[in-house]
Structure 1
Amino acid sequence: MGKRQIIYTASQIGGARELLDKEINLVTKERRVWHGYVTAIDQDKIELRDSRFWKHTFKVADIDKIYGEVVTDY
């Protein structure tokens, strides 16, 4: 069993419903990295819940990339 990394660029993030309830790493344009679960997403913003159950809201325009992992059979 392995893992594969999925990378979403800023232009792919807005409205990407497949990210909902997924564990991700979010990188801002300021090069800050946030880790958590996506709780809400729309065309303009994304909401992330961290490991302390705090919610953080980011504008899509302020996001550089989002990294997610997918477990594979090989």
Structure 2
Amino acid sequence: MGKRQVIYTGSQISGNRDLLDQEINLVTTEQRVWHGYVTAVDQNSIEIRDARFAKHSFEISNVDKIYSEVVTDY
């Protein structure tokens, strides 16, 4: 069993409902990394919940990339 990393850029994040409930690493334009689960996403912002159940909101314009891992059979 392996893993595959999926990278989303800012234009792919906006309104992408497939990101909901996924565990992600979010990289801001300031090069800060946040880890958590996506709880909400719309055209202008994304919200994640971290391991301490705190919620954090980010404007899409302040997000550089989002990294997600997918478990594969190969």
TM-score between both structures, scaled by the size of structure 1 = 0.99
CA distance in 1, matches of 2:14, 2:68: 15
Identity of aligned residues (%): 72
- Cα shift at 1:62: 0.3
User: What is the aligned length?
Assistant: 74
CA distance in 1, matches of 2:57, 2:11: 18
User: Match for 2:31: what amino acid?
Assistant: R
Moved over 4 A (4+): none
CA RMSD of aligned residues (A): 0.3
User: Match for 2:32: what amino acid?
Assistant: R
Aligned to 1:67: 67
Deviations 1:22-54 (A, max 9, x none): 000000000000000000000000000000000
TM-score between both structures, scaled by the size of structure 2 = 0.99
CA distance in 1, matches of 2:19, 2:10: 13
Q: SS at the partner of 2:18?
A: helix
CA distance in 2, matches of 1:2, 1:31: 27
